[in-house]
């Protein structure tokens, strides 16, 4: 590579570091290659040929997101190989809610100073997220921003594109009172509500190193646990059961996300005792004196995703999810109401 600029380097941008980053990340990207990929990284655009076999009316579904302030934990712990999983998860877990199968992903890393090894570590997490969701990492961008952010900090965002047959897009209007809502266990806080988390625990190098018996690990290790990716489990479920709707429980918790998948006139009634709350959420509530209503309106509380099926399909749905390695259980039922979510 002959490209080099002393003037640009003096201004804070080392283009050769960018080339080195690309070389280091190639092995990680290679893990994500699927049959549809038509181009390697380094071009001006990522080419992907969608396999429409068995799809009569292909519809593209896209989703974009970032990691949010959870990324501060990665800085403090100097561990950068998991936030990429979070970034992919927040995108692919959204697009599967309408029944779409993720096809490819692109990432964007804005960094104060390009340290190639760090960039490659970040991308390794993105690649792992893509492998878990069976989609290809076909491109991305790393932008060095001297003077805009500290040299040792970065931000990470991305987007995913999936495909679904138009005739198989989930139709929430098919839901009725008496249908059952199934909860699928989360891996922890996932990637939402970290501004409150950081305030509650006064997050710093000392507080994240505290070991909690109820967590079985340090606070930092628990909080940095990657967002669970539900793609394979949901794709298998859609093959086995008539799923009526899916909700990804992200920022806004139960009260904001569950109603997004419900038609007017129906609400989800959930018994508080039936929610299998993870210890980290009890710890957040206690440490910050956070009201329970706020907890359920901010966090997933141990439920990363919900699916609604007919009462007759509950056992088959739970069996399918468990066969895919997910912990799933009956969370509640749909009732005639306009409240959206009723937690009793």
- Per-residue model confidence as pLDDT tens digits over 250-282: 999 999 999 999 999 999 999 999 999 999 999
The pLDDT score that the predictor gives to residue 166 is 97
Residues whose CB is less than 8 angstroms from the CB of residue 218 and which lie 6 or more positions away in sequence, other chains included: 208, 209, 210, 211, 212
- Judge whether residue 12 has pLDDT over 80: no
What does the pLDDT average to over 51-58?
Answer: 93
What does the pLDDT average to over 16-25?
Answer: 71
Q: How far does Cα 11 stand from its chain's mean position? A: 36
- If 0-12 CB within 10 Å is exposed, 13-18 middle and 19+ buried, where does residue 183 land? buried
Q: What span, in angstroms and rounded, lies between the C-alpha atoms of 47 and 38?
A: 5
- Band (18; pLDDT cuts 50, 70, 90): low
Q: What span, in angstroms and rounded, lies between the C-alpha atoms of 134 and 130?
A: 6
Residues 187-206 have pLDDT tens digits of 999 999 999 999 999 999 99
Q: What span, in angstroms and rounded, lies between the C-alpha atoms of 242 and 308?
A: 9
Give the DSSP letter of residue 50.
-
Bridge-based pairing state of the strands 136-144 and 101-111: parallel
The pLDDT score that the predictor gives to residue 4 is 54
- If 0-12 CB within 10 Å is exposed, 13-18 middle and 19+ buried, where does residue 106 land? buried
């Amino acid at each position: 590579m002959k490209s080099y600029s002393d003037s640009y380097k003096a201004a804070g941008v080392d283009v050769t570091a960018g080339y080195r980053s690309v070389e280091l990340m190639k092995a990680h990207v290679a893990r994500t290659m699927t049959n549809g990929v038509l181009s390697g990284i380094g071009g001006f655009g990522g080419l992907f040929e969608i396999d429409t076999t068995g799809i009569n009316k292909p519809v593209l579904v896209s989703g974009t997101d970032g990691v949010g302030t959870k990324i501060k934990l990665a800085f403090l712990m100097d561990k950068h190989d998991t936030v990429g999983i979070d970034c992919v998860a927040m995108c692919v877990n959204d697009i599967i809610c309408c029944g779409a199968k993720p096809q490819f992903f692109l990432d964007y890393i804005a960094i104060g100073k390009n340290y190639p090894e760090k960039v490659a570590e970040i991308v390794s997490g993105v690649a792992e997220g893509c492998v878990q969701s069976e989609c290809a990492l076909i491109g991305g961008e790393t932008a060095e921003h001297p003077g805009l952010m500290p040299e040792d900090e970065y931000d990470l965002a991305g987007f995913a594109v999936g495909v679904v047959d138009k005739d198989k897009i989930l139709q929430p209007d098919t839901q009725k009172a008496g249908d059952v809502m199934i909860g699928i266990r989360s891996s922890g806080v996932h990637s939402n509500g970290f501004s409150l988390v950081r305030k509650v625990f006064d997050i710093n190098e000392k507080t994240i190193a505290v070991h909690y018996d109820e967590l079985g690990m340090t606070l930092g290790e628990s909080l940095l646990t990657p967002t669970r990716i539900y793609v394979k489990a949901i794709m298998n479920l859609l093959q086995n059961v008539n799923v009526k709707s899916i909700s990804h429980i992200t920022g806004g918790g139960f009260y904001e996300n569950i109603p997004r998948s419900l038609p007017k006139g129906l609400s989800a009634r959930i018994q508080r005792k039936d929610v299998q709350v993870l210890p980290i959420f009890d710890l957040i509530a206690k440490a910050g004196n956070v009201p329970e209503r706020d907890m359920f309106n901010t966090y997933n509380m141990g439920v990363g995703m919900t699916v609604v099926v007919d009462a007759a399909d509950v056992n088959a749905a739970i069996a399918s999810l468990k066969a895919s390695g997910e912990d799933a259980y009956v969370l509640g039922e749909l009732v005639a109401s306009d409240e959206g979510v009723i937690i009793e």
